[in-house]
Amino acid sequence: MNFQKFIQKHCRKLRDSKTAEFIYREIIWKEENRIRMAEFSDNGICALAAVVAPVEECCQKPDSDLHLEDYTVRKVIGHMVAEALLPLGYLPLKEQPIPKKYFVGEFKNAKIYALTGVPKERIAKKIEKI
């Protein structure tokens, strides 16, 4: 789902946010981050913990137009994670505190996802000869 469709579905308030668009495209939907979020969930850790540090760092930059103190902003970032995991077949399982070793600041709780949906994509890892 592209950013504009995502915003129409979840929060039109952020439609002009360059920071939200950057987080969505360059952090949340980055392939290695989607894989990490799925792996974190598989290991009983909140998916957001895989990307919470770069998300918060992005929002702390002087030119950021997102404020994580705003509950709606944090909620929308949680929806971004859900949308990125959905094509992999991951659906929300439960919410729990983000482990302290991943916790950076504003985010306190997040969801763990489970592979209970119908995947449209899969994570394919393989060993190759070098």
Its pTM stands at 0.91
**Rounded to whole angstroms, how far apart are CA atoms 63 and 73?**
16
Answer whether 68's CB lies under 8 Å from 56's CB. Answer: yes
Residue 89 has pLDDT above 90, yes or no: yes
- For residue range 46-88, list pLDDT tens digits in order: 999 999 999 999 999 999 999 999 999 999 999 999 999 999 9
* CA 85 centroid distance within chain: 8
pLDDT of residue 102: 83
* CA 10-118-23 angle, 5° bins: 35
What is the pLDDT, as a whole number, of residue 130?
78
Q: Using CA atoms, how far apart are residues 36 and 56, in angstroms rounded to an integer?
A: 17
